[in-house]
Amino acid sequence: MSKLFSKANKEALTGPLNLNNPVVVQVLGICSALAVTSQLKPAIVMGLSVTIITAFSNLVISLIRNTIPNRIRIIVQLVVVAALVTIVAQVLKAFAYDVSVQLSVYVGLIITNCILMGRLEAFAMMNGPWESFLDGIGNGVGYAMVLVIVGFVRELLGSGCLFGFQVVPQCLYDWGYMNNGMMTMPAMSLIIVGCVLWVHRSINKENK
């Protein structure tokens, strides 16, 4: 057990949550972070899907990494990712149809998510299955964290709801409060991602 969670493995799991965060530090996967975060629920589902796909594609590629011919490795990686994405898309359609409609094309576009290819190339091709699996979970959760923060702010200020439930009290609206329409537009999520980045960098100043 101690070997399963050695220091290096722990680092692979927790590093991406903070100092090596895929969105905030490596600035990958921004497009989907902008597109699906207008509400909290799709943001969480998207984060979960990416976590699962990253973890398992890392696992699969790491298992077969010694048999993949170097020249066609990108194609092999894409096939694995595409298969996993298709499975996740089908599961979403079967069990969470409304969210899958909301996410529409973005579930399919996980294939092109830079985080996935980045982790496969940079980590899974060189490390064992268990480490790769942990790395995939860490990166997926790091990505999901940012999505949840952005989704929280956007849904709260943009429509006054969280998970579709009204949280801004009616009396505020009676006093003249209004929802911010720009929060529901992708332009504003870019600014919020920027703010998250800003906060993160000013907290971790010494770790440049």
Partner 1 sequence: MSLRKYVDKIKPNFMEGGKFHAFRSVFEGFETFLFVPNETRRTGVNIHDAIDSKRIMSLVCIALVPALLFGMYNVGYQNFMASGTEGSWFDMWLYGFLAVLPKIIVSYVTGLGIEFTVAQWKGEEIHEGFLVSGLLIPMIIPVNTPLWILVLATAFAVIFAKEIFGGTGMNIFNPALITRAFLFFSYPTCMTGDDSVWVSQNTICGLGGNVPDTFTAATPLGEVGAGMAPSASVLDCVIGTIPGSIGETSVIAIALGAILLLWTGVASWKTMLSVFVGGALMGELFHATGMSTLTAVDHLVVGGFCFGAVFMATDPVTSARTEGGKYIYGLLIGVVAVLVRVMNPGYPEGMMLAILLMNLFAPLIDYCFVQSNINRRAKRAIK
| Minimum distance from residue 161 beta carbon to partner 1 (Å) | 17
For the chain, how big is the Rg over CA atoms in Å?
19
User: Which of 61, 183, 193, 196 is close enough to bind partner 1 by CB under 8 A?
Assistant: 183
91-120 footprint of partner 1 as x/- string (CB under 8 A): ------------------------------
β-bridge mates for residue 166, sequence order: 161
Q: Which is nearer to partner 1, 14 or 179 (CB)?
A: 179
User: Which region among 91-99, 108-116, 134-142, 182-190 touches partner 1 (by CB under 8 A)?
Assistant: 182-190
User: Which region among 77-85, 95-103, 143-151, 172-180 touches partner 1 (by CB under 8 A)?
Assistant: 172-180
User: Which region among 92-100, 114-122, 133-141, 179-187 touches partner 1 (by CB under 8 A)?
Assistant: 179-187
**C-alpha span between 53 and 168 (Å, rounded):** 35
| Tokens linked to 170 | 């009616």
Q: Which is nearer to partner 1, 50 or 153 (CB)?
A: 153
DSSP sequence for 150-191 = HHHHHHHHHHSEETTEE-S-HHHHHTT----GGGGSHHHHHH
Q: Which of residues 142-171 bind partner 1 (CB under 8 A)?
A: none
DSSP letter (8 states) at residue 126: T
Rounded to the nearest 10 degrees, the angle between the axes of helix 40-63 and helix 129-159 is 170
Q: Does 191 bind partner 1 (CB under 8 A)?
A: yes
Q: If DSSP codes are grouped into helix, strand and coil, which group holds residue 195?
A: helix
| Minimum distance from residue 145 beta carbon to partner 1 (Å) | 23
β-bridge mates for residue 165, sequence order: 162
For the beta carbon of residue 73, count every other beta carbon within 10 angstroms: 15
| Tokens linked to 155 | 């849904």
Q: Does 180 bind partner 1 (CB under 8 A)?
A: yes
| Minimum distance from residue 44 beta carbon to partner 1 (Å) | 25
Q: Does 193 bind partner 1 (CB under 8 A)?
A: no
Q: Does 199 bind partner 1 (CB under 8 A)?
A: no
| Minimum distance from residue 153 beta carbon to partner 1 (Å) | 14
Torsion of CA 120, 1, 66, 49, to 10 degrees: -30
Q: Binding residues for partner 1, per CB under 8 A?
A: 176, 178, 180-183, 185, 187, 191
